Amino acid sequence: MRRELPIAITFVLGVLIILAFFFDSPTLTNASQSLQNWAVIIAAFALGIASVNLIQVHAKKIARGQDRLDWLYSGALLLGLFGMTVIGLFKGPADQMYQFWFNALFTPGQATVYAMTGFYIASAAFRAFRIRNLEAGILLVSAALVMLGNVSVGEALWSKFPVIGSWLVNVPNLAAQRGMMIGAGIGGIAGGLRVLLGIEKSYLGSGS
Amino acid sequence: MVQGRVFSFWLLVVLIGSMLYGMWRARKGIAIKIRRIAGLNAIEEAVGRATEMGRPVHYTPGLGGISAAEATQTFAALAIMGHVAHLSARMDVPLIVTIRQPEVLPLAEESVRQAYLEEGKVDAYVPTNIRFLSNQQFAYAAAVFGIMAREKPAANFLMGAFWAEALMLAEVGSEVGALQIAGTAQLSQVPFFIAASDYCLIGEELFAGAAYLSGDPTQMGSIFGQDLGKAIVALLMLAGVIATNMGSSFFSTLLGK
């Protein structure tokens, strides 16, 4: 029953959500909406469980006091976690102090990490464009043509660069992308079906 | 039936039918030949490499949850993770799993714990190696960078749904010298994984991968059914292109129903 019951629940609820998408029935729509609301509530509880995991991992690091300054970073994380929770619980998320820490520390931190993408693109492009084989050579030439087609200096050098660049993006590239999209879409349906029918149950800890 | 979804519904029925047919064939014992997927065959090599180097293995089942459109990718990633956990337990190499979505954490914990149990290495299972980092995209990414820099995994598995952080995660793995196997059905991230990883499971290979590794004939049969479904869709597309170029509006009317 440890596995059969979750599989049965997954099947019944999954079929219900699929039917609600296709059939115009208020009963199905309401049931589907309720299920989706439950998912939000379960996710909120899951965040509580996940926080316990976070606290365990970092409390262990602090208790050991090892690994250079790791314990200090863990301390800062737990201080932030508990500090923001206490402020949020007692003063609400609209509180000035809560907003200050969120806007002055968290948001710029996220923006900084995102901004690093540019540097990573440069290093990844350097490796990807090394001509190791024919495919990598084609990739390099295609990328150079697309880049030249997208910058004004490219058009100044030769008026056909934008035309060639657009063709590469809109014809061979798009054709390949659509092929992958169709494959991924059908693969997704097959994967979903395997989970719904209980054929794929490794997420329940059944192993491979 | 909802207007505009009639064709989609019947197409879904046909696709499900083709997969059920594939599974039925497999159950009847009809052999199914599936091409070898390099990325999946390299999993054992990657875990073996970590064992030889005395360094851990890092696995992320992506940043998607289990209730949105990316759910199937997360489930596929969790299935592959089960296989990696078995290998890690067998080869006595620490497996670090990093989680972004809180609801994925219990599934990952159970899957890894069960793998260690089945390998008879339950004492080697370290609960704190299955780590929830943050449900915020870039906070999660930054935490993974830290783990990579400090613990220097020899193998890095990036499977599931990824967004803007995909390239950064793969590049950091590359910087620490990890053998990287990535897989996603997020098409906008596939080029980044191809550029930065050693092996990449592209789109449907991620879904097929879970079934491929299981070795279960029924699951393998569903891959056959999946390919049959693709052939049906390709035929419909071809018929649609020919009909539309000949001035027929049959297919456009059908799609709008």
Nearest chain A residue to B8, by CA: A22
The residue segments making up the domain with residue B244 are: 6-31+217-256
* Claim to verify: residue B196 and residue B82 sit in the same structural domain: yes
Mean pLDDT along residues A71-89: 94
Mean pLDDT along residues B150-175: 96
Q: Is A68 left (phi over 0), alpha (psi -120 to 50) or beta?
A: left
Is B17 buried (19+), middle (13-18) or exposed (0-12) by CB count in 10 A?
middle
CA distance B181 to chain A (A): 15
Position with higher pLDDT, B9 vs B210: B9
A206 touches B: beta carbon within 8 Å: yes
Predicted confidence band of residue A126 (pLDDT cuts 50, 70, 90): confident
* Claim to verify: residue B193 and residue B237 sit in the same structural domain: no
Half-sphere exposure of B257 (CA within 13 A, CB side): 12
Q: Is B165 helix (H, G, I), strand (E, B) or coil?
A: coil
The whole-chain average pLDDT of chain A stands at 91
The DSSP line for chain A is -TTHHHHHHHHHHHHHHHHHHHS--HHHHHHHHHHHHHHHHHHHHHHHHHHHHHHHHHHHHHHHT-TTTHHHHHHHHHHHHHHHHHHHHHH-TTSHHHHHHIIIIIHHHHHHHHHTHHHHHHHHHHHHTS-SSHHHHHHHHHHHHHHHHHSHHHHHH-TTHHHHHHHHIIIIIHHHHHHHHHHHHHHHHHHHHHHHTTS--GGGTT--
* Claim to verify: residue B110 and residue B66 sit in the same structural domain: yes
Proportion of chain B above pLDDT 90, given as a percent: 84
- Which CATH number do you get for residue B174? 3.40.50
Proportion of chain A above pLDDT 90, given as a percent: 69
Residue B137 DSSP class: H
| Domain contains B250 | yes
Going from N- to C-terminal start, the domains of chain A cover 4-117, 118-196
**Tokens coding A18:** 């699929």
Q: Are B56 and B96 in contact (CB under 8 A)?
A: yes
* Claim to verify: residue B124 and residue B222 sit in the same structural domain: no
**A110 has pLDDT over 60:** yes
**For residue B115, which residues of chain A lie inside 8 Å, CB to CB?**
207-208
pLDDT at B76: 94
| Domain contains B51 | yes
**Tokens coding B215:** 């070795």
**B99 has pLDDT over 90:** yes
Q: What are phi and psi of B202, to 5 degrees?
A: -95, 120
Give me the long-range contacts of B29-36 (CB less than 8 A, separation at least 24).
B29/B217, B32/B217, B32/B220, B32/B221, B32/B223, B32/B224, B34/B208, B34/B212, B34/B220, B34/B223, B34/B224
* Claim to verify: residue B181 and residue B55 sit in the same structural domain: yes
CA distances from A94 to A97, A105, B138 (A): 9, 16, 23
Mind listing the pLDDT tens digit for each residue in A6-42?
899 999 999 999 999 999 999 999 999 999 999 889 9
| Domain contains B142 | yes
**For residue A67, which residues of chain B lie inside 8 Å, CB to CB?**
150
pLDDT at A66: 66
Residues A120, B168: C-beta atoms closer than 8 Å: yes
Residues B132, A21: C-beta atoms closer than 8 Å: no
**B255 has pLDDT over 90:** no
**For residue B101, which residues of chain A lie inside 8 Å, CB to CB?**
46
* Claim to verify: residue B60 and residue B106 sit in the same structural domain: yes
Q: How far apart are CA B80 and CA B10, in angstroms?
A: 31
**Among the listed residues B133, B179, B231, the one whose alpha carbon sits nearest the alpha carbon of residue B41:** B179
Q: How far apart are CA B90 and CA A63, in angstroms?
A: 30
Contacts of A131 (CB under 8 A, 6+ apart): A137, A140
Q: Are B187 and B181 in contact (CB under 8 A)?
A: no
Predicted confidence band of residue A208 (pLDDT cuts 50, 70, 90): very low
Residue tagged 């690093």 (tokens) = A116
**For residue A180, which residues of chain B lie inside 8 Å, CB to CB?**
187, 190, 202-204
The ipTM assigned to this model is 0.90
In total, how many domains does chain B have? 2
**A164 has pLDDT over 70:** yes
A107 touches B: beta carbon within 8 Å: no
Mind listing the pLDDT tens digit for each residue in A141-157?
999 999 999 999 999 99
In this complex, the residue of B139, B146, B211 whose CB is nearest that of residue A194 is B211
Mean pLDDT along residues A125-135: 82
Residue tagged 């279960």 (tokens) = B216
Q: How far apart are CA B132 and CA A47, in angstroms?
A: 9
Predicted confidence band of residue A206 (pLDDT cuts 50, 70, 90): low
Cα radius of gyration rounded to whole Å, chain B:
20
* Claim to verify: residue B210 and residue B222 sit in the same structural domain: no
**A91 has pLDDT over 70:** yes
Mean pLDDT along residues B122-140: 95
* Claim to verify: residue B89 and residue B176 sit in the same structural domain: yes
| Domain contains B1 | no
Q: How far apart are CA B257 and CA B254, in angstroms?
A: 5
In this complex, the residue of B86, B135, B165 whose CB is nearest that of residue A47 is B135
Position with higher pLDDT, B165 vs B33: B165
* Claim to verify: residue B154 and residue B251 sit in the same structural domain: no
CA distance A77 to chain B (A): 10
* Claim to verify: residue B108 and residue B16 sit in the same structural domain: no
* Claim to verify: residue B70 and residue B110 sit in the same structural domain: yes
**63-102 of A, contacting B, C-beta below 8 A:** 67, 70, 73
In this complex, the residue of A50, A125, A204 whose CB is nearest that of residue B105 is A50
Mind listing the pLDDT tens digit for each residue in B12-30?
999 999 999 999 999 898 8
Mind listing the pLDDT tens digit for each residue in B207-224?
998 888 888 888 889 899
* Claim to verify: residue B10 and residue B99 sit in the same structural domain: no
Q: Are A42 and A72 in contact (CB under 8 A)?
A: no
**B91 has pLDDT over 90:** yes
User: How does strand B179-184 pair with strand B130-132?
Assistant: unpaired
Residues A12-50 as b or e (16 or more Cβ within 10 Å = b): ebbeeebebebeeeeebeebbeeeeeebeeebeebbeeb
pLDDT at A203: 77
| Domain contains B13 | yes
Mean pLDDT along residues A87-91: 95
